[in-house]
Amino acid sequence: MNRKREQAYRGKITSPLDNLFGDSDSADQTASNWVTLDSLCLPAQQPRRYFDPQKMEQLVQSIKAHGILEPLLVRPLPDRKYELVAGERRYRAATTVGLTEVPVTVRELSNDEALQLSLVENLQREDLNPVEETEGILQLLSLKLQKAVPEVTALLYRMMNESKGNVNRNVTVSQEDNAVSEVFTSLGLMKWESFVRNRLPLLNLPQDILEALRQGHTAYTKAQAIAQVKDKEKRKLLLEEAIESDLSLTEIRERINALKPVPDTQSPKNLLQSISTRLTKSKTVWNDPKKLKKLTTLLQQMEALLEE
């Protein structure tokens, strides 16, 4: 019987990257092998920052029972070392299990290609949280367009304003618009309009809300609702309750409404504002000579009060 490490993985790797950035000569320069775990190193820039402990434990148990079923994607480095491109969860789980060797597919990649592949692979994960997904898409667009992330964000908002007719379309940047659409089409996650409308605002949420989203403790719709509470202490308490009690979005909104101060409708200032609004809209007072005469008298008395 062949040993497991002798059963090499074969075949060309394909990914959404080939559609996003075009076929590259490096796409055919692949090889499969088993390498020692200590010959692998993590990249300096890693798209993924949070790993759900429960799901990691499930993966650890699966690897203990069945081994690693899908090879890690790596690129060669000097001194017979390899940099991990895709498969960090499997790498971490293998380390926890205590494996000494892991199956890998070796591919010659530039720094940009490696980062692009890592981003695409990460964005295909089902358990990716919305914050990391948003940041990953922005990084991918940054590489595609050769723009800094703030410039990409400005471009997306400009495209949204143009689509709404708020500003005139600039024909000189239509190629960038097409490139953005191609990236979202290739990823198949959502349309760029939905990304701008629902995901970009997440990055402006308070830090405590962002952290809860990163760790998968709450849905982004609930996070956006909780962020409406401006008082930091009240927002913190609501966030904790929402997580611990698994509050629905409706329940969260009810608690937010309960936190709002009740206006004092009986105060003279509020009463004056209310009367003024009603008086302006009233047709009866302005069309009835008797009522208009009484109103004139009251206004003169108010004016005299102010002069005192």
Report whether 120 contacts 17 (CB < 8 A). yes
Query: What pLDDT, on the 0 to 100 scale, is given for residue 240?
Result: 92
User: CA torsion sign, 225 to 226 to 227 to 229?
Assistant: positive
Overall pTM > 0.85: no
Report whether 20 contacts 186 (CB < 8 A). yes
**DSSP string of 220-241, one letter each residue:** HHHHHHHTT---HHHHHHHHHH
Rounded mean pLDDT of 260-278? 75
Rounded mean pLDDT of 212-228? 87
pLDDT, mean over the chain: 80
Rounded mean pLDDT of 103-125? 83
Report whether 186 contacts 178 (CB < 8 A). no
Phi/psi at 36 (5° precision): -75, 145
- Alpha-carbon separation of residue 96 from 52, 57, 87, 89, 100 (angstroms): 15, 9, 14, 11, 11
Q: At what angle do helices 174-187 and 149-163 cross, to 10 degrees?
A: 100
For 213, the token pair is: 């989203």
- Which sequence spans correspond to the domains of the chain? 4-123, 129-204, 206-261, 271-298
pLDDT band (50, 70, 90) for residue 184: confident
Rounded mean pLDDT of 108-126? 80
Residue 227 to residue 256: CA distance in whole angstroms: 10
pLDDT band (50, 70, 90) for residue 25: very low
Rounded mean pLDDT of 110-123? 82
Lowest mean pLDDT among 77-81, 101-105, 186-190, 259-263: 259-263
pLDDT digits (tens, 9 = 90+) for 121-152: 778 776 677 888 888 889 889 888 888 989 99
Look-up of token digits 């320069």:
29
The larger pLDDT score, comparing residue 82 to residue 112, is at: 82
Residues 6+ apart with CB under 8 A from 240: none
Lowest mean pLDDT among 156-160, 188-192, 261-265, 271-275: 261-265
Phi/psi at 55 (5° precision): -70, -30
Report whether 159 contacts 195 (CB < 8 A). no
Query: What pLDDT, on the 0 to 100 scale, is given for residue 250?
Result: 92
Residues 6+ apart with CB under 8 A from 212: 218, 223, 239, 243
The larger pLDDT score, comparing residue 130 to residue 253, is at: 253
Report whether 16 contacts 90 (CB < 8 A). no
Residue 267 to residue 87: CA distance in whole angstroms: 64
Query: What pLDDT, on the 0 to 100 scale, is given for residue 270?
Result: 77
Strand-pairing partners, residue 40, are 82
CA 228 to mean position of chain CA atoms: 18
Residue 107 has pLDDT above 80, yes or no: yes
Domain 4-123 has CATH 3.40.50.12240: no
The phi-psi region of residue 87 (left if phi > 0; otherwise alpha if psi is between -120 and 50; otherwise beta) is left
pLDDT band (50, 70, 90) for residue 237: very high
